[in-house]
Structure 1
Amino acid sequence: MKKYLLLLLYCLLAQMATAQDVIVKINGDELKARIQEITTSDILYLSADTTDTLNYKLAKAEVFMIRFANGTKEVFTENLPPETTAKATIADPTYMYEKGRQDARSYYNGTGALLGSAATVFLAGPVGPIIIGAVKPKAHNNHALPYTSLQDPNYVRGYEKQAHNRKIGKAALGTGLGIGVGVLYVLLSVMGGGQ
């Protein structure tokens, strides 16, 4: 029994060890990397796709944001357009609503809901995942979204609707994983206790 739990712990630690940072450029391109240093003008990183130890350099002016492997983000606000130029006319409401939904599919991953639901159902039962799934994600909390789009209420409504649907799905998946781990734990306990 202990060796199975150690194996599970080892797999989780291996997954965390391979976690990557993501550099989001102003043009929308994303680079998977391991950030080494952020200077006043450049970002030094290792390529996450290779095993070489060659440092790459990217001008900080080309970068919108870095999503670190631990879940934190650093947005380079100096690279954003000034507020006076960022205020654009509100576009077609249907288009902005669909654009918000599309961006939620791209920028909202729901990993926290998945892991939180798995842990709470395993430890405390189904109440935790229900609460996690009920809390709606807010568009303004996601710094990867374009500032001008966040000014449009149709975009925000579309983003939050799709992100909430995705969060509910991730919470349901996490609930299933938590129940599966609980059943596996009980079965291993029963099998290990009978020997």
Structure 2
Amino acid sequence: MNINFLINKNMQKLLLLLVLVGALRPARAQTPAAPGPDTILRRDGQEIQGRVVVLTPTELRYLPAAPAPPDTLALPVAEVFLIRYANGTREVLPPAPAAGAPADPLAGLGTRQRDSLGRRDAATHYRTPGAFWGAAGAAFGASPVYGIAVPIVLSAKPVKPVNFQAPDQTLLLDPSYQHGYQQQANSTKRKQAWAGYATGTGAWAVLFGALLIAVASSWH
């Protein structure tokens, strides 16, 4: 047998074996690229590069980008406008209330709850003695027939917001609260007007009856 033929045959087998080994060898895992830094945009326009570690309602802690020391730093949330994370998402932080500004007393209440609170406060705090005494005076002085026009007019006119009496006047700035207060105040005014009319009518009837008795007595 030809020696060269045997050598070539063996070399072909060796090359084929190497190719098979290389194909079966697992590919080397690629090391994932390190994510880029987050960007913290302050309200004064300054940008800070780093990685956000903790975000609370009052404080933002972050790890600054190299070559800064590898220690977390803190920023008040009130000084941060926006966070642009390395994955492309953004988070805009709402501005903090001004120093000394009162907390919103209606925070956490829905529209119906604010309306209901307005009605309750109107029932407790709104008073309208003028409607009562105006209707009573009209019924007593002009007689119930003519005096009835006064409670009708008073009932038709809504209460002006300037006459609202809330435990906290800033509550009236909320539309839902003011709507509920308005409805209850109008109802209270109507009730007071007709109560005054009934009182005046009763007083007029007593006086009219007394006069009739006096006149009848004088005829005897």
Q: 2:162 & 2:174 partners in 1: Cα distance? A: 11
Q: Does 1:193 align with 2:211?
A: no
- Aligned runs of 1:135-150 on 2, under 5 Å? 135-150=157-172
Match of 1:51 in 2: none
Residue 181 of structure 2 corresponds to 159
**Pair 1:184 & 2:202 matched:** no
Match of 1:85 in 2: 101
Correspondence for 2:148: 126
Larger Rg: 2
* Gapped regions of structure 2 (runs ≥ 5): 1-97
Q: Is the 8 A contact 1:86 1:148 kept in 2?
A: no
Match of 2:126 in 1: 108
Shift of 1:99: 0.4
Check whether the contact 2:122–2:166 (CA below 8 A) recurs between aligned residues.
no
2:196 equivalent to 1:174: yes
Give the fraction of aligned pairs with identical amino acids, expressed as a percent: 28
How far off its partner does 1:178 sit? 1.1
Of 167-176 and 153-162, the range deviating more from structure 2:
167-176
Cα offset, 1:141, TM superposition: 2.3
Q: SS in structure 2 opposite 1:194? A: helix
Q: Distance in 2 between matches of 1:187 and 1:147?
A: 48
What residue in structure 2 maps to residue 55 of structure 1? Answer: none
TM-score, normalised relative to structure 1:
0.52
Report Cα offsets for 1:83-118 as digits up to 9, x if no partner. x72473764211110000000110013322111111
Paired with 1:158 and 1:144, the residues of 2 have a C-alpha distance of: 12
Report the Cα distance in structure 2 between the residues aligned to 1:183 and 1:141, rounded to whole angstroms.
Answer: 33
Matched, 1:99 2:121: no
Checking the alignment, whether the CA contact within 8 Å between 1:136 and 1:164 is kept in structure 2 is: yes
Q: Could you tell me how far apart the structure 2 residues matched to 1:86 and 1:117 are?
A: 41
Q: Are the counterparts in 2 of residues 140 and 150 from structure 1 also a CA contact under 8 Å?
A: no
Aligned length: 114
Matches of 2:124 and 2:115 in 1, distance apart? 15
Which amino acid is 1:85 matched to? Answer: A
1:194 to partner: Cα distance: 2.2
Output the CA distance in 2 between the equivalents of 1:114 and 1:92. Answer: 35
What SS does the corresponding residue of 2:101 show, helix, strand or coil?
helix
Task: Report how far residue 189 of structure 1 moved.
Answer: 0.6
Deviation at 1:142, TM superposition (A): 2.9
